[in-house]
C-alpha cells in the first residue's frame, strides 16, 4: 500500500506568521529547535542557527536572558536564514528589548512573568509591531496560584487554565497573534493537556515534551508525545527537547514529519532489514555507513540496505532504490528491478551515486541508464540467490529445527 495515501486530518487553527513562515491554518507543520550558545555571542549563535536550518529547522529560538543577549539578537536577526524566536525568562524588559532587536516571535512563560501590567505591556508592543507571541506553559513552572487551586498538583486542567488566563490578558489589549504550548516532561500529562487545549482554542499549537532527556529514552518520550497528538490532528509546529546536540532535535523533528507524510521528503529515508541467518554482509555496519554517507545530502528518496539478494529486493520493492548483498558483491535495484552488480566494498558508494543520479535526472532516466546493465545484473542476482539457497537451504534461520526441538520436548 502506498503510505502516502493515508493522511491524518488536522484540526483547523488560525494562522500566524513567524517572520515569513506560516504557522497554523493548514500551513505545513514546522520544525523548531533552540540554540545552546550564548546569544550575546552572535557569530557562534549564527553558526549554530545555520547548522539547525541545514538539518531541517524552520524556526529557531534563542534565549534572551540578559541585555547583551538582546544586543546579540539585533546582530543575529538580519543574518539568520530562518525566523528567530526570543525566549524570555523572568524579566519582561528583555521581551521589549528583543522586539526592538527585530525578532520574529517571542516566547513567554506565564509561570515566570506574572504581573498582568508587564504581560500587557509586552503584548501591546508586540501588537504594534505585528509580532506573534508563544504562550509557553510549562508543567514544571506552573503559576503557584493555579498549582494550589488544582489540588497542589500539575494537572492538564491547570495547564490549560494557565494558557487561557494568559490569553485573557492579551485579549485585553486586543492582541491575538498567539500560539500556545502546554509542555510537560510527563508524556500522558502533556498529551492530555494538549487534547484539552485544542478543544477550547483555535490558536495554533506548538508541541513538545519538555526536558525529555538524553537519547535514546528522550527521543522515545518526545516522539510518544508529539506523534500521538499529530496522529490526532493536533499540532502546528513541533520541537524535540533533548539533552543532545540541537542539530539532532531538528533532524528528528523533520524525520517524524516526513515519516507521517506531513512534510515533503527532503533527506534520504534509509530503511534496512533487521538481518538474519541468510545475511551475506554485516547489515548494521553497512546501514550505518550508508547513513553516514547520505548524512544531510538533500536526496528525497527512500533507500534500502538489505542483507541478502534472496529476499532483499522483494522485501524492499517499494523503496526507490536499494542494494542487497550477494556472494561478496552488491546487487543494486531500482523500484525492485535489478539494475547493476558491484563489488561488496563499493555497495555504499554505488548507492549514493545512483541516488544522486535519480535526484538529478529522474526515475525514467535511471531506468534508461539501467538498460545497458540490467540483464547482466539480473543474471548475477539469480546466481547469488540460488547459491544462497543451496548453501543455507530454505530455512536459513533454523526455525524449523527449533520448532522440531520444541515439539520433541513437549512429547
Ligand atoms: S532474509 Fe535477507 S533481507 Fe530479509 S532479514 Fe534476512 S538478510 Fe535481511
DSSP letters spanning 355-379: HHHHHHH-HHHHHHHHTTTHHHHHH
Q: How confident is the model at residue 243 (pLDDT cuts 50, 70, 90)?
A: very high
CA angle 111, 116, 122 (to 5 degrees): 90
What is the pLDDT, as a whole number, of residue 402?
Answer: 81
Provide, rounded to the nearest whole percent, the portion of the chain with pLDDT above 90: 83
Q: What is the mean pLDDT of residues 331-350?
A: 94
Say how far residue 46 (Cα) sits from the centre of its chain: 21
- C-alpha distances out from residue 62 to 39, 46, 88, 135, 380, Å: 6, 10, 9, 16, 55
- The answer to whether the beta carbons of residues 30 and 56 sit under 8 Å apart is no
Q: What is the mean pLDDT of residues 15-40?
A: 97
**For residue 306, which atom of ligand 1 is closest to its CA?**
3
305 alpha carbon – ligand 1 mean position (Å): 10
Question: Is a pLDDT exceeding 80 seen at residue 308?
Answer: yes
Across-strand partners of 63? 87
Average pLDDT score, the chain: 93
310 alpha carbon – ligand 1 mean position (Å): 8
Strands 337-343 and 133-138: unpaired
Q: What is the mean pLDDT of residues 395-410?
A: 81
Q: What is the mean pLDDT of residues 393-409?
A: 80
Provide, rounded to the nearest whole percent, the portion of the chain with pLDDT above 70: 99
Give the burial string for 189-216 (b: 16+ CB within 10 Å, else e): bbbbbbbbbbeebebbbbbbbbbbbebe
322 alpha carbon – ligand 1 mean position (Å): 13
What is the pLDDT, as a whole number, of residue 204?
Answer: 98
Cell 503557584 identifies what position?
144
Calpha distance 14→84 (Å, rounded): 20
Q: How confident is the model at residue 5 (pLDDT cuts 50, 70, 90)?
A: low
Q: What is the mean pLDDT of residues 253-262?
A: 93
Q: How confident is the model at residue 56 (pLDDT cuts 50, 70, 90)?
A: very high
258 alpha carbon – ligand 1 mean position (Å): 26
294, with CB counted inside 10 A (0-12, 13-18, 19+), is buried
The residue whose CA is least distant from atom 2 of ligand 1 is: 308
Question: Is a pLDDT exceeding 90 seen at residue 141?
Answer: no
Question: Is a pLDDT exceeding 80 seen at residue 223?
Answer: yes
Question: Is a pLDDT exceeding 70 seen at residue 2?
Answer: no
What is the pLDDT, as a whole number, of residue 238?
Answer: 98
The residue whose CA is least distant from atom 3 of ligand 1 is: 312
Calpha distance 23→42 (Å, rounded): 26
**For residue 276, which atom of ligand 1 is closest to its CA?**
6
- The answer to whether the beta carbons of residues 309 and 384 sit under 8 Å apart is yes
What is the pLDDT, as a whole number, of residue 298?
Answer: 87
Q: How confident is the model at residue 1 (pLDDT cuts 50, 70, 90)?
A: very low
Lowest mean pLDDT across 34-38, 318-322, 395-399: 395-399
Q: What is the mean pLDDT of residues 63-72?
A: 96
The residue whose CA is least distant from atom 1 of ligand 1 is: 311
221 alpha carbon – ligand 1 mean position (Å): 30
2 alpha carbon – ligand 1 mean position (Å): 22
Question: Is a pLDDT exceeding 80 seen at residue 399?
Answer: no
Calpha distance 290→347 (Å, rounded): 9
Q: What is the mean pLDDT of residues 86-112?
A: 93
The residue whose CA is least distant from atom 5 of ligand 1 is: 275
- Non-local (6+) Cβ contacts of 340 within 8 A are 331, 332, 350, 354, 370, 373, 374, 377
Ligand 1 pocket mutation, candidates 285, 308, 326, 336, criterion most atoms within 8 A of CB: 308
Which bin fits 26, alpha (ψ -120 to 50), beta or left (φ > 0)? Answer: left
- The answer to whether the beta carbons of residues 349 and 363 sit under 8 Å apart is no
309 alpha carbon – ligand 1 mean position (Å): 8
Q: Which of 377, 376, 354, 384 is nearest to 279 (CA)?
A: 384
Calpha distance 58→150 (Å, rounded): 36
**For residue 316, which atom of ligand 1 is closest to its CA?**
3
- Non-local (6+) Cβ contacts of 195 within 8 A are 156, 229, 232, 234
What is the pLDDT, as a whole number, of residue 4?
Answer: 53
- Report helix, strand and coil shares of the chain as percent, to nearest 5: 50, 20, 35
Across-strand partners of 180? 135, 205
**For residue 324, which atom of ligand 1 is closest to its CA?**
3
What cell was used for 129?
509591531
Strands 237-239 and 30-34: parallel
276 alpha carbon – ligand 1 mean position (Å): 6
Q: What residues does ligand 1 touch, defined as CB less than 6 Å away?
A: 273-276, 278-279, 306-308, 310-312, 315
Q: How confident is the model at residue 305 (pLDDT cuts 50, 70, 90)?
A: very high
Amino acid at each position: 500500500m502506498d503510505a502516502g495515501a493515508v493522511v491524518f486530518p488536522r484540526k483547523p487553527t488560525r494562522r500566524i506568521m513567524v517572520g515569513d513562515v506560516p504557522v497554523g491554518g493548514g500551513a505545513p507543520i514546522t520544525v523548531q529547535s533552540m540554540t545552546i550558545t550564548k546569544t550575546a555571542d552572535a557569530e557562534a549563535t549564527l553558526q549554530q542557527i545555520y547548522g539547525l536550518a541545514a538539518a531541517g529547522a524552520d524556526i529557531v529560538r534563542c534565549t534572551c536572558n540578559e541585555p547583551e543577549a538582546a544586543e546579540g539578537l539585533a546582530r543575529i536577526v538580519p543574518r539568520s536564514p530562518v525566523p528567530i524566536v526570543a525566549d524570555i525568562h523572568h524579566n519582561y524588559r528583555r521581551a521589549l528589548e528583543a522586539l526592538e532587536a527585530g525578532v520574529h516571535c517571542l516566547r513567554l512563560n506565564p509561570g515566570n512573568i506574572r504581573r498582568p501590567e508587564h504581560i500587557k505591556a509586552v503584548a501591546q508592543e508586540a501588537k504594534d509591531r505585528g509580532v506573534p507571541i508563544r504562550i509557553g506553559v510549562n508543567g514544571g513552572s506552573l503559576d503557584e496560584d493555579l498549582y494550589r487551586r488544582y489540588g497542589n498538583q500539575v494537572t492538564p486542567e491547570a495547564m490549560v487554565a494557565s494558557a487561557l488566563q494568559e490569553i485573557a490578558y492579551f485579549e485585553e489589549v486586543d492582541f491575538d497573534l498567539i500560539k500556545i504550548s502546554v509542555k510537560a516532561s510527563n508524556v500522558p500529562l502533556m498529551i492530555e493537556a494538549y487534547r484539552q487545549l485544542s478543544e477550547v482554542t483555535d490558536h495554533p499549537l506548538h508541541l513538545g515534551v519538555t526536558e525529555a532527556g538524553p537519547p535514546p529514552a528522550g527521543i522515545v518520550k518526545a516522539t510518544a508525545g508529539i506523534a500521538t497528538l499529530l496522529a490526532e490532528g493536533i499540532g502546528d509546529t513541533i520541537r524535540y527537547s533533548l539533552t543532545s546536540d540541537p542539530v539532532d532535535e531538528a533532524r528528528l523533528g523533520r524525520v517524524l514529519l516526513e515519516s507521517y507524510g506531513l512534510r515533503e521528503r527532503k533527506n534520504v529515508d534509509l530503511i534496512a532489514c533487521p538481518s538474519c541467518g541468510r545475511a551475506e554482509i554485516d547489515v548494521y555496519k553497512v546501514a550505518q555507513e550508508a547513513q553516514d554517507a547520505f548524512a544531510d545530502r538533500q536526496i528525497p528518496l527512500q533507500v534500502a540496505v538489505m542483507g541478502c539478494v534472496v529476499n532483499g529486493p522483494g522485501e524492499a520493492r517499494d523503496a526507490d532504490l536499494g542494494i542487497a548483498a550477494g556472494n561478496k558483491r552488491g546487487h543494486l535495484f531500482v523500484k525492485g528491478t535489478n539494475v547493476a552488480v558491484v563489488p561488496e566494498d563499493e555497495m555504499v558508494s554505488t548507492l549514493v551515486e545512483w541516488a544522486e543520479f535519480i535526484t538529478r535526472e529522474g526515475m525514467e532516466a535511471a531506468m534508461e541508464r539501467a538498460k545497458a546493465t540490467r540483464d547482466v545484473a539480473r543474471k548475477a542476482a539469480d546466481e547469488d540467490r540460488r547459491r544462497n539457497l543451496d548453501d543455507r537451504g530454505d530455512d536459513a534461520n533454523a526455525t524449523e529445527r527449533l520448532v522440531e526441538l520444541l515439539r520433541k520436548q513437549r512429547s
